[in-house]
Amino acid sequence: MKECPYELFIVDALNLKELQSKEVGYVKEKGSERIVAKIVLFDEYLKKRNNRTIFVELIKGICYIFTNAVFFKKIQERSKKELFLLYHELGHIYFKHLRNGDNYEKEREYRIDQIIKGKASDKELQADAFAADIIGISIAIEALKKLQTQRLERDYQQGVYKKTMSILAQREFAYRIAELQKKLNEKAKS
């Protein structure tokens, strides 16, 4: 495992309702004062973006990691499976996948195109690899399987599990898990 090039600083708060739409932490480069991203608790914004737990966005040159209250509590607890998602988002920052004015829909279409071609997007795989290098490949695989199951359960409850987007999401999870499994197998051989 590699050391994370970033340090995480988060508030230690119990009443997260009061912190909605506010900064609850930040990420700095290790050994530097440079802030890489601000962490914002914003359940409504995630719902608006059809995102369940966490995502990163570049706004006017500043990286923001948006998360919901449930997930933020798990980050506070330093749960390794949940930290995978945070490190995954930091991987997008590390590899400079974000640019001002990026078109969310354009990126989404690219990801869908890649899934139809039978693979996950390079950006997702790079971010997964970044996170797996920090927390361990086995934990990363478990985290993705957990996410995959949660997504399927949510889609089933909403009656959309047979819809195209749900099916594509399940495929993308499978491709991402397979890539990490391949990496784990290669590591075991060496």
Q: Are 49 and 40 in contact (CB under 8 A)?
A: no
| pLDDT attached to residue 79 | 83
For residues 81 and 181, which has the higher predicted lDDT (pLDDT)? 181
Is residue 179 assigned to a domain? yes
**Averaged pLDDT, 12-27:** 88
Mean pLDDT of the chain: 91
C-alpha span between 165 and 178 (Å, rounded)? 20
126 pLDDT higher than 70: yes
Q: Are 22 and 40 in contact (CB under 8 A)?
A: yes
Is residue 1 assigned to a domain? no
Q: How many domains does the chain have?
A: 1
| pLDDT attached to residue 45 | 87
C-alpha span between 74 and 162 (Å, rounded)? 30
C-alpha span between 85 and 151 (Å, rounded)? 14
Kindly list the distances between the CA atom of residue 73 and the CA atoms of 16, 17, 68, 102, 104, in Å, as whole numbers in the listed order. 9, 12, 9, 29, 27
Indicate the pLDDT class of residue 142, thresholds 50, 70 and 90: very high
C-alpha span between 152 and 144 (Å, rounded)? 12
**For the ranges 17-21, 104-108, 109-113, which has the lowest average pLDDT?**
104-108
Q: Are 173 and 148 in contact (CB under 8 A)?
A: yes
* CB-CB neighbours of 117 under 10 Å: 10
109 pLDDT higher than 80: yes
**Averaged pLDDT, 30-37:** 95
Is residue 114 assigned to a domain? yes
Give the CA radius of gyration of the chain: 16
Q: What's the pTM value of the predicted model, to 2 decimals?
A: 0.91
pLDDT in tens, 80-106: 888 999 999 999 999 999 866 556 778
Kindly list the distances between the CA atom of residue 182 and the CA atoms of 64, 157, 186, in Å, as whole numbers in the listed order. 31, 32, 6
C-alpha span between 78 and 125 (Å, rounded)? 23
| pLDDT attached to residue 113 | 96
**Averaged pLDDT, 9-25:** 88
- Domain coverage including residue 74: 6-189
**Averaged pLDDT, 163-172:** 94
Whose tokens are 């059809």? That residue is: 50
